[in-house]
Amino acid sequence: MQVSDADPATSYAYKASLIGSAHRFELTEQGLSWHIGGRSGLWPYDEIGAIRLSFRPVSMQQHRFRADVTHSSGRRIAILSTSWQTAALMAPQDNGFRAFIVELHARMAKAGSRAVLTAGLGRSTYAAVLAFLAVLTVAMAGLLIRALVIGEFAGALFILGFAALFAWQVGGFVRRNQPQSYRFDQVPRALLP
């Protein structure tokens, strides 16, 4: 749901839920203008304290990205790369999201912003995810060895198939959401559609 009366790089809108109004954002000369429900605001670019980019798939949309923009006062807004269309359809807005986020970074750099730019999950959350995956890998390896030892080859094939599917689904999430810092001129491509 892209706003069409302005340059696509300077305006962006999406519906976070099926019920409710669109979240609208615009990059103006003064700063980031936002309208969410009945609330609105204008954050000068040099007052934006942090941006965190992440890859956040959901069941209805496996290719969804998120930008959390935090004001220096601590208030936070989220910008998502997908928009609800119907009860069963969440549509990607890849080009509009990418252009808007890149332009936001460019304007913040031009304004001399000192925002903290991070990507991926928080370090402690990422460590917990890796620890969980390590435990799961050991458990799956144990089940595979047991299935092979007792001659249950159908079970071994099932475990291998499940592990491959799990690695494909979760591997992209873990790889893209590795914690990192970045600069305004080097927005991580893995966290943009």
The arithmetic mean of pLDDT across residues 112-133, rounded, is 94
> Using H for helix, E for strand and C for coil, what is the string for 58-114?
ECCECCCEEEEEEECCCCEEEEECEEEEECCEEEECHHHHHHHHHHHHHHHHHCCCC
Q: Please give the Cα distance from 81 to 126 (Å, whole number).
A: 22
Q: Are residues 144 and 105 both part of a single domain?
A: no
Is the pLDDT at 100 greater than 80, yes or no? yes
Please give the average per-residue pLDDT across 81-85, as a whole number.
84
Report yes or no on 2 lying in a domain: no
* 6 domain-assigned: no
Taking 70 as the threshold, does the pLDDT of residue 144 lie above it? yes
Query: Residue 82 has what pLDDT?
Result: 86
Task: Select the highest-mean-pLDDT range: 12-16, 83-87, 95-99.
Answer: 95-99
Please report whether residue 58 resides in a domain: yes
Q: How confident is the model at residue 143 (pLDDT cuts 50, 70, 90)?
A: very high
- pLDDT by residue (tens digit) across 158-179? 999 999 998 888 888 899 999 9
Provide mean pLDDT across the span 35-55. 94
Q: What is the CATH number of the domain that holds 103?
A: 2.30.29.30
pTM, entire model: 0.81
Residues 84, 129 within the same domain: no
Q: What is the dihedral of CA 24, 177, 179, 17, to 10 degrees?
A: 30
Specify whether 91 is located in the same domain as 23.
yes
State the pLDDT confidence band at 7, using cuts at 50, 70 and 90: low
pLDDT band at 33 (very low <50, low <70, confident <90, very high): very high
Residue 127 shares a structural domain with residue 111: no
Give the list of residues 6+ apart from residue 56 with CB closer than 8 angstroms, or none. 64, 65, 66, 80
Q: Is residue 3, in this structure, part of any structural domain at all?
A: no
Determine the Cα–Cα distance for residues 157 and 171; give it in Å rounded to an integer. Answer: 20
* Together in a domain, 73 and 23: yes
Task: Return the pLDDT at 2.
Answer: 45
Domain total in the chain: 2
Note the pLDDT of residue 52. 97
Structural domain boundaries enclosing 134: 123-174
Q: What is the pLDDT of residue 9?
A: 63
